[in-house]
Structure 1
Amino acid sequence: MDVNDEKLTSAEHAQMREVVTSGARRMRLLRARRRQTAAVAAAVVLVAAVVTGVSFAALRPDDRVAEPVETTSAPTPTVTPSPSVAPPAPQAPATAVQPYGGDCANMLSNDQASTWIGTAAQPIPQRWVDPGQTLSGGMVCMWSVPDAYLSRYVEIVAYPVSLFDATDEMPVSAGECVDGRCLAASALRDTWIGVSWTGASEFDEGPAVRSIGAVEFAELFDMLDESARAYPAPRAAERTSSWWPGEGCSVVSRAVSDEYTLSAPPGASTTLFPALDAPMERLGVDTCSFATGDATDLTLRVIPGAGYLIDDIAASEYATPVDVPGADAATLVPSNYVWEFNGNDLVVRSGDNLLIVAGYPTGDEQQQLVELIALATAALAAMNATLG
C-alpha cells in the first residue's frame, strides 16, 4: 500500500516534515564532521611523514659529493708595478786579506818551528796585533825557545807581493848574519817573506841550538811556501775617500811645531826590513817621533783606514778606555813589545782612521798620559782638517 493511499491531516504532514528536515540536518552535520576528522587525520599523517623523512635523512650517512658550481666572472687584472731604477749601491772597498788565514799556527806548527830551530820552541804572541800589519795584508809571527830572553827566536814577517811596485827593491836574501842576527827574505808566489833569526847571547842560559845558514833558510822557505798554498793570496786594503791622506807625520809636525820637535823625521825606517817602508807610505801609514818639553820622546803612528781595528785592541788585556777630545774612541794599552813592559800606547779612532801615540816608561804614568792625550788631540785636529 502506498503511503499516499491514506490521507494525512495537516498536523501529521507538518510533524513528518519536521522529522525529515531535522534528520537531514543531522546527516549533513555528521558528514561535515566526518570530512573534518578525515582532513585532520590526513594532515597528521602528512606531518608525521615529513618529520620521519627529515629524521631519516639526518641520521643516514650522506655519501653524496657536492659538485662545485662553475661560475663565470671576469678575471681580476694583475697590476704589475713598473720597475723603478734604483741607484747602484756603492761598492765597498776591498778589505785586506792576510796570508796564512791570519793565523801564525797556519804558517808553522810548533813541531816545525822546533825542528828548524833545533830544540823545543813555542809561539810568542803579540799583546795586540799591529793595525798597520792588518791593513797592509801582512802579519808577524815569532817562535822562541821556552824561558829564553831576548835571544834564540825566529821572527817571520809576511806581506803581499802586490804591496811592492816596480820602483821598490823587494829584498831577496839567502841569509846574512851580523852580530848574531841573521836576515833572509824570499818571494813565494803571492807572499813576500822576511825572516829574522837571533841565536844565543849573553842572556842565553838554555840548550844549544843548531847553526843557521843558507841551507837552513832554504828549508824554512820550502815549509812556508807549502803552508801558504792552502790559503787565499794576501792583499792590502783599498784606499777610500774617507781615509786620511799620506804624509801624516809632516802634516802633524807643521801643526804642532810650537809645542813639539821632531826627533825622528818622517820616513825613517822602523823595521828590520826597510824595503817595507815605501809600500807602507803608499798606504798612508807613517811613523815619526816627537820630543816633548822634558826631553821625553813620543812616537806617533798615523794609520788611515784602520779605525775598525780599535775594537780588537780595546779587547786586549789591561786595555783601559780614555777620553780624548775630538776622538770617536780611545783606549790605553801596554805596548805590544813581547819581552817586557815597555810603556803604554794610546790608540785613538776618528772615523775610519786610527793613530797611535806611544811613550816610553817615565815613572809617572799619569803625567805621561796627559802628554799622550795632548799630542793625540793635536794630531787628530791636523789630520781631520785634511779631509775638508
Structure 2
Amino acid sequence: MRTTRQIYFAKIAFYLTVLSLLSAYSCIPTINTNNKMKVEVEHLEEAIKTLNTGINTLRTESGSWQETLKDVQKKIADDVQSTIETEITQLIDHGVSVIGQESRCNVDFVAKRSRIELIRIKNELITKRNGLAQKIGIPPIPLDTVPPVKPAICIVSPSSLDLTLPPDRRKTIDISGYDFDSAPIVVLLKNGDQEIDVTHPYLGQTSPFLISLNVGANGVRLSSNSQQFIVRADGKQISSINIISPSAQQDQLTNPVRADQEVGNGGWNGSIAATDGYVYLATPDGKLRRGKISSSVGTEVIGDAGWNGSIAAADGYVYLATPDGKLRRGKISSSVGTEVIGDAGWNGSIAVADGYVYVATPDGKLRRGKISSSVGTEVIGDAGWNGSIAATDGFIFLATPDGRLLRGRL
C-alpha cells in the first residue's frame, strides 16, 4: 500500500510528463515555420546567384544581352520567378524595340541599362531574403550599389510633327528610352520667342521606358508660330522635336550637302532607295537588287525583270514609277512582285515617307499623294524640281542634273 508521500511524488511525475509532452507538441509549428522560411531563403539566394551571373555577363558580353536576359529568366526558381518574370520580359521586349537604324541607343547602351535593371531586381530579392533571414537567425547579405542613371531617349516617333496632317493622324508623340522615372521630365513648346510648359496635362508616362505627348485634337494647342518641342530632364535638354507648319511647305530648297563617302565602287547605275538598313537599286536592264548598307555594299537580285524606272522604299514595300507613267508597289521579300496603285502621271523620280508618295515630274513640279490602293496627287512644289528625289524625317532631298544635292522641309 502506497504512502501519502509516494502518491504525492507520483502525481508530480505525472504532471511533469504531461507538461513535457505539451511543450514538445507546441514547438512543432515553430519548427515547421522556420523550415519553410529557410527553404524560401535558399530559393531566394539561388535566384540572387542567377542574377549575379547575368549582371556579370552583361558587363563583359554586351552583344549577347538578349540571350543573357532569357537565360536569367529561365533559371530563376519557379516560386521566385513570378515576381520578376514580367520585369525581365519588359526589359527584353523594350531592348528589341529600341535597337534599330533610327535609334539613338546601340547594343552596348541597352546592355548597360539592362544590367542596371537586373541590379535593381537583385536588390529587391536581397531585401526580401534579409527580412526572412532575420526571423530565423541567418545573417543578412549587403545590397549592391545601383549606378546613378539619368533619363535617356532612344526613339522619338514620329521624329517630327507635321501640322499638315489632320489631328486624328497625329494623336501622340511617343518617346521611348530608359529611366524616365529617375528625374522629372518637362516638355516645352517653342512658340516664336516664347517657351511654354506643356508637360501637364499633356505628357503621360506609361512605364519607366515610355512617355507620350498628346498632340491630337484634345492635346497641346499648336499654331503657325509653333516651331519645336524641347524635352528636358533635371533642367537639361535631352531631345527636341521639330514642328512642320503648313507654311513650311513653301520653303525654298536650301543647305547644299556634300556627298563625299564612297560605299559602292561599281555597278550602281540606275535609281536607288534605302530603308531599314538596306539599299535598293533598279538597274537599266530591269532588275531590282538589294544590298546591306555598310562601308562597302554588295547586292543580290530580288526582282528579275520589269524594274525600269524610279524606285522608293518604306515600311516593308518597294515602289516603282515605270516609264509608261504607272506607280507600282510590291512587298519586300526574296522575290518581289508588284501591283499597280497609280494609273497615270507617275513619270519622274519618286520618294515615299510617312504614308505619302512624292513624284518630281519632268516639268519640274513636285506632287504628293496619300498611299492607298489608288493614289492621286496634288502639287506642293511649283518649279525647279528637276532631278531625283528622296524623303525622310520631314525633309525632301533633290539631286539636281548639275550634281547638287538640295534639301527642303515637307
Common topology (TM > 0.5): no
Q: Which has the higher contact order (CA 8 A, sep 6+)?
A: 1
Q: Which has the higher strand share?
A: 2
Q: Please, what TM-score do these two structures have when normalized by structure 2? A: 0.23
Q: Please, what TM-score do these two structures have when normalized by structure 1? A: 0.24
Higher-Rg structure is: 1
